[in-house]
């Protein structure tokens, strides 16, 4: 088991006591659960650090490593084995979060620099603890901006080439659909997604092709999911109306009707037969100098476009309904109940969420978008956090904006830590309300195990946020 044969080079013989502590920390998860392990680790770390220092301190104060670095520095104690949060420990974890420093006033960069300056000249205004926290915040601020510049931002040239490839695919599909099915009631297709909002991170590898369907107003009506027996806020049913006056086949989309409702699954199947089965993508790819192939299997209809030797773009083909009140519904199935809820259309808040986030940043020159992009990159590059999506991160930031007013560039470190802490709290509660529609729970498609795993990973990251950035950087590139 983990920790039994750990390498303890550079430390004096401790008769196995230090090894026993390592063993206890590494395997506490199996006995106490993740929440218990986290609390035990925090409590035991102080004892272990003092013991390690006592047995490993050099016999002479002059025996220092190069650069003045002591060999008995604080050891790493976070494990990496699979974790499941013990629900009985959630109240303890919640209480422990209260002691973590998150106040924007306590750690504003100017205050930190003043604290460091006072300590440097021997002033009594800052305690050793204040100095340590100040240095940690300044260090995190620097690491966040370095991570942003080196790993988050995508070069403008790469974005332009990816957009051009997506536009080429959109043009080909538009020509094909109009020629093959001229009577299909569609509005003009358009490209969307984070690639076009300057919110894509790491690589320019994803775009959405929106395909708006035209529905007859007197033949179709939308029903919110919470008003149905399924009670799923954020998803809608589109019901066929007036069948006694306008019988079946009066609407083009009656062919996609299941049980009296327009089925997004059936709509996707119609387009799948056309896009994936009828279009000669190898021939089109040779003309465009791309390699194009449908992705199978896929939750939605997705095309993989290799537009350069080492660069790929994934284009999601998304049928879209825009209702009279402006509600946008997309044909993307419920992740956990796709079969049981196959008639449900997903409500999309992305356009409104992005607009609100940008408007807030424009008002005060804030760091909201930068904070979002850093969080998206961390989640994209860290396998343990890939289940957190852009919508969940965006809404967490929007909810924080209602409580926190300081979003200046200098406050990025504080806001990033506050974002991590807020996510842990929402995961602990099992609910993240949509900022634009509070009845919608954005965590409703996560399993209990995924909620616990995400909560544990982020809880540990609060103790070592720079380690979270390092973990993301060390991960191999994702497709």
pLDDT band for position 335 (cuts 50, 70, 90): confident
| pLDDT surpasses 50 at 4 | no
Three-state secondary structure call for residue 45? helix
Asked whether 418 and 102 are in contact (CB, 8 A), the reply is: yes
**HEC string of 295-338?**
CCCCCCEEEEEEEECCEEEEEEEEEEEECCCCCEEECCCCCCCC
Q: What is the CA radius of gyration of the chain?
A: 27
Please tell me the distance from the alpha carbon of residue 313 to that of residue 423, in angstroms, as a whole number. 30
- Helices 156-180 and 264-275 sit at what angle, rounded to 10 degrees? 90
How much is the average pLDDT of 204-213?
A: 96
Higher-pLDDT residue of 84 and 391 is 391
Secondary element (H or E) of residue 220: strand 220-224
Residue-wise pLDDT tens digits, 262-280: 999 999 999 999 888 889 9
Cα dist from 288 to 132, 168, 281, 342, whole Å: 57, 8, 10, 36
Q: Domains plus CATH for the chain?
A: 156-347 (3.30.460.90), 352-471 (1.10.1410.40)
Please tell me the distance from the alpha carbon of residue 33 to that of residue 452, in angstroms, as a whole number. 10
Predicted local confidence at residue 2, as pLDDT: 43
How much is the average pLDDT of 422-446?
A: 96
Task: Give the tokens for residue 211.
Answer: 């395909």
Please tell me the distance from the alpha carbon of residue 37 to that of residue 281, in angstroms, as a whole number. 53
pLDDT band for position 144 (cuts 50, 70, 90): very high
Task: Give the tokens for residue 207.
Answer: 């775009």
Give yes or no for a cis peptide into 426 (omega within 30° of 0): no
Residue-wise pLDDT tens digits, 54-94: 554 444 444 344 444 333 333 333 333 344 455 544 554 44
Please tell me the distance from the alpha carbon of residue 106 to that of residue 129, in angstroms, as a whole number. 13
Predicted local confidence at residue 370, as pLDDT: 96
Asked whether 377 and 386 are in contact (CB, 8 A), the reply is: no
- The DSSP letter of residue 151 is I
Higher-pLDDT residue of 479 and 50 is 50
Predicted local confidence at residue 414, as pLDDT: 94
How much is the average pLDDT of 200-211?
A: 96
Share of the chain above pLDDT 70, in %: 70
pLDDT band for position 134 (cuts 50, 70, 90): low
Cα dist from 122 to 106, 126, 129, 131, whole Å: 21, 9, 14, 12
Asked whether 313 and 307 are in contact (CB, 8 A), the reply is: yes
Distance of CA 19 to the CA centre of its chain: 37
| pLDDT surpasses 60 at 444 | yes
CA nearest to 194, candidates 326, 316, 362: 316
How much is the average pLDDT of 375-386?
A: 95
Residue-wise pLDDT tens digits, 459-476: 999 989 998 998 877 765
Cα dist from 403 to 28, 385, 396, 422, whole Å: 37, 25, 11, 11
Q: What is the largest CA-CA distance in the chain?
A: 97
| pLDDT surpasses 90 at 424 | yes
Backbone angles phi, psi at 3, to 5 degrees: 95, -15
CA nearest to 49, candidates 89, 18, 20, 12: 18
How much is the average pLDDT of 16-23?
A: 58
């Amino acid at each position: 088991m983990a920790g039994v044969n750990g390498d303890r080079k550079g430390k004096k013989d401790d008769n196995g006591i230090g090894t026993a502590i390592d063993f206890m920390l590494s395997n506490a998860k199996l006995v106490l659960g993740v929440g218990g392990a986290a609390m035990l680790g925090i409590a035991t770390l102080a004892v272990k650090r003092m013991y390690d220092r006592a047995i490993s301190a050099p016999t002479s104060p002059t025996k220092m490593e190069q650069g003045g670095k002591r060999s008995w520095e604080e050891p790493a104690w976070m494990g990496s084995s699979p974790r499941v949060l013990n629900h009985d420990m959630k109240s303890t974890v919640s209480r422990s979060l209260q002691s973590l420093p998150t106040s924007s006033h306590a750690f504003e960069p100017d205050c930190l620099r003043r604290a460091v300056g006072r300590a440097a000249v021997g002033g009594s205004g800052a305690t050793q603890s204040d100095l340590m926290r100040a240095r940690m915040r300044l260090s995190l601020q620097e690491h966040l901006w370095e991570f942003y510049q080196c790993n988050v931002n995508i070069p403008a040239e790469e974005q332009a080439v990816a957009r051009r490839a997506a536009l080429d695919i959109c043009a080909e599909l538009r020509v094909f659909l109009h020629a093959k099915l001229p009577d299909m009631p569609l509005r003009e297709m358009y490209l969307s997604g984070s690639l076009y909002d300057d919110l894509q991170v790491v690589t320019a590898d994803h775009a959405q092709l929106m395909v708006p369907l035209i529905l007859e107003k007197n033949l179709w009506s939308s029903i919110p999911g919470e008003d149905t027996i399924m009670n799923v806020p954020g998803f809608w049913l589109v019901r066929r109306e007036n069948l006694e006056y306008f019988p079946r086949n009066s609407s083009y989309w009656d062919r996609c009707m299941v049980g009296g409702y327009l089925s997004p699954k059936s709509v996707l199947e119609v387009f799948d037969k056309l896009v994936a089965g009828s279009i000669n993508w190898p021939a089109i790819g040779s003309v465009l100098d791309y390699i194009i192939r449908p992705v199978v299997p896929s939750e939605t209809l997705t095309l993989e476009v290799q537009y350069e030797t080492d660069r790929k773009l994934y284009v999601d083909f998304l049928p879209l309904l825009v209702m009279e009140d402006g509600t946008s519904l997309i044909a993307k199935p419920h992740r956990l109940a796709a079969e049981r809820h196959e008639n449900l259309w997903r409500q999309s808040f992305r356009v409104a969420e992005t607009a609100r986030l940008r408007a807030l940043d424009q008002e005060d020159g804030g760091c909201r978008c930068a904070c979002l992009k850093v969080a998206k990159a961390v989640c994209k590059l860290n396998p343990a956090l890939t289940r957190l999506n852009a919508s969940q991160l965006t809404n967490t930031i929007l909810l924080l904006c209602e409580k926190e007013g300081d979003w200046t560039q200098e406050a990025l470190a504080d806001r990033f830590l506050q974002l991590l802490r807020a996510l842990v709290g929402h995961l602990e509660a099992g609910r993240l309300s949509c900022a634009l529609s509070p009845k919608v729970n954005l965590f409703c498609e996560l399993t209990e195990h995924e909620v616990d795993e995400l909560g544990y990973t982020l809880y540990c990251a609060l103790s070592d946020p720079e380690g979270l950035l390092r973990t993301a950087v060390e991960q191999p590139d994702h497709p």
